[in-house]
Amino acid sequence: MKFPIYLDYHATTPVDPEVFETMAPYFTQVFGNAASRNHEYGWTAEAAVEKARAQVARLVRASERELIFTSGATESNNLAILGVAEMYREKGNHLITTPIEHKAVLDTCHFLEKKGYEVTYLPVDKHGRVNPEDVRAAIRPSTILVSVMAANNEIGTINPIGEIGKICKEKGVLFHSDAVQAAGKVPLDVEKMGIDLMSLSAHKMYGPKGIGALYVRRKNPRVRLAAQIHGGGHERGMRSGTLNVPSIVGFGKAAEIAERVMGEETARLRRLRDKLWDAIRSELDEVYLNGHPTERLPNNLNVSFAFVEGESLMMGMKELAVSSGSACTSASLEPSYVLKAIGVGEDLAHTSIRFGLGRFTTEEEIDFAIQKVVSTVRKLRDLSPLYEMVKEGIDIKSVQWSAH
Ligand SMILES: *Cc1c(COP(=O)(O)O)cnc(C)c1O
């Protein structure tokens, strides 16, 4: 086993060796500019890009003509939201999203609010799911875009995006979905799900960092976007800039592999993830699952451990590379806004851990993780007077705390 054990696959994934191998020749041998129309170097590069475009498109059941390469999903989310906001300003100034989107969606919406747009942040239930009927109720004549993520990156909850897409179609409102975490783990189909714009990122699915895509529907309806980067007119004029051929080739390969192994891989990860959770909850009491019990990514487990201190928990399990529910923002320890939005209290948010399993996670690693988590939590609770009182049957809410 290699330490620390990597269980943070929602943050990023290693490049699959098969992907890396496919990319290699495109740095030194097939190095042409895909926009060079006058010679063989350009043509070969362009052909490689178009092959990759088809591979990525196939993963979400789109046509390759509807896919635009970007620098990653942060850019894809920006282009989708800003591009629609600018292009459809005449039609309206209202957008709908959720409070648990990735920052690339939320910060873009906040930016638009400063520019005079109005944004509705839909409520989510205690599992982090959007009720499609809430989308319907929030749509106004001035609504130009609905943006709801397919699966959440912290708690793994999967949204009913097919139902939301259907409502958007009925109402004639464009629907964008950030599908970064869902791609390769949940079957996606832009036609069946009524999706008009979809953001993808290669490095969350065993491709390289710094490359992503935006699906942009071409018909029923044809989505128009105001470009956010100008110069050269690449990518149907929506995203100028010389194409990153090696990374695009890698992204294509990663998508092809994802499509091929998805069924088998998700079954294996689900089994390992369930093994981890079953062991944690049978060995420990006062542990709480964050996110939906069934409608969740097969590789995600997010758990709050009561009566331990978040920082000590992380320090106690340094052999595990996991994420905690606290984000260090400007020197203060802020609990995760996603956990806050689903009603997890500050204490439990601070002691939450996100386990993200992936392609290279082994059974042996999960066995080690179980033993590490259980022993660390037990050790910390042994030192906790509060936990001891609870175990003795004292209702801590009724205790009169003295200042001295
Ligand atoms: C990682 C992530 C992003 C950002 O993708 P980048 O390619 O790193 O910019 C956006 N949305 C979600 C849900 C993510 O998990």
Burial class (CB in 10 A: 0-12, 13-18, 19+), 367: middle
201 Cβ inside 6 Å of ligand 1: yes
CATH 3.90.1150.10 describes domain 5-9+262-392: yes
Q: What is the pLDDT of residue 395?
A: 81
Q: Name the residue at shortest CA distance from atom 10 of ligand 1.
A: 73
Q: 168 CA to middle of ligand 1, Å? A: 24
Q: What is the pLDDT of residue 396?
A: 75
Q: 400 CA to middle of ligand 1, Å? A: 46
Mean pLDDT to the nearest integer, 313-328: 89
Mean pLDDT to the nearest integer, 202-229: 98
Q: Where are the domains positioned within the chain?
A: 5-9+262-392, 17-257
Q: Is 157 helix (H, G, I), strand (E, B) or coil?
A: strand
For residues 235 and 76, is the Cβ–Cβ distance under 8 A?
no
Q: 53 CA to middle of ligand 1, Å? A: 19
Q: Name the residue at shortest CA distance from atom 7 of ligand 1.
A: 72
Indicate if the pLDDT at residue 328 is higher than 60: no
Q: What is the pLDDT of residue 392?
A: 87
Instruction: Report the share of the chain in percent with pLDDT over 70.
Output: 97
- Band of pLDDT at residue 173, cut at 50, 70 and 90: very high
152 Cβ inside 6 Å of ligand 1: no
Q: pLDDT tens, 351-384?
A: 999 999 999 999 999 999 999 999 999 999 999 8
Mean pLDDT to the nearest integer, 147-156: 98
For residues 237 and 162, is the Cβ–Cβ distance under 8 A?
no
Q: What is the pLDDT of residue 238?
A: 94
Q: Is 276 helix (H, G, I), strand (E, B) or coil?
A: helix
Mean pLDDT to the nearest integer, 325-331: 62
Q: Which of 90, 264, 328, 392 is catalytic?
A: 328
Query: CA-based angle 243:236:48, to the nearest 5?
Result: 40
Nearest atom of ligand 1 to the alpha carbon of 10: 15
Q: pLDDT tens, 276-288?
A: 999 999 999 999 9
- Would the CA dihedral through 179, 71, 169, 85 be positive or negative? positive
Pocket test for ligand 1, best of 74, 75, 337 (most atoms within 8 A of CB): 74
Indicate if the pLDDT at residue 332 is higher than 70: no
Q: 240 CA to middle of ligand 1, Å? A: 21
Rounded-to-integer distance, Cα 279 and Cα 270, Å: 14
Nearest atom of ligand 1 to the alpha carbon of 203: 7
Does 168 participate in catalysis according to the annotation? no
Mean pLDDT to the nearest integer, 208-224: 97
Q: What is the pLDDT of residue 404?
A: 55
Q: Name the residue at shortest CA distance from atom 14 of ligand 1.
A: 180
- pTM to 2 decimals? 0.96
Task: Tell me the CATH number for domain 17-257.
Answer: 3.40.640.10
Mean pLDDT to the nearest integer, 276-304: 98
Mean pLDDT to the nearest integer, 37-43: 96
Q: What is the pLDDT of residue 320?
A: 98
The whole-chain average pLDDT of the chain stands at 95
Mean pLDDT to the nearest integer, 28-49: 96
Rounded-to-integer distance, Cα 108 and Cα 334, Å: 21
For residues 349 and 335, is the Cβ–Cβ distance under 8 A?
yes
Mean pLDDT to the nearest integer, 196-203: 98
- Would the CA dihedral through 247, 253, 256, 257 be positive or negative? negative
DSSP assignment of 189-229: -TTTTT-SEEEEEGGGTTS-TT-EEEEE--SSSPP----SS
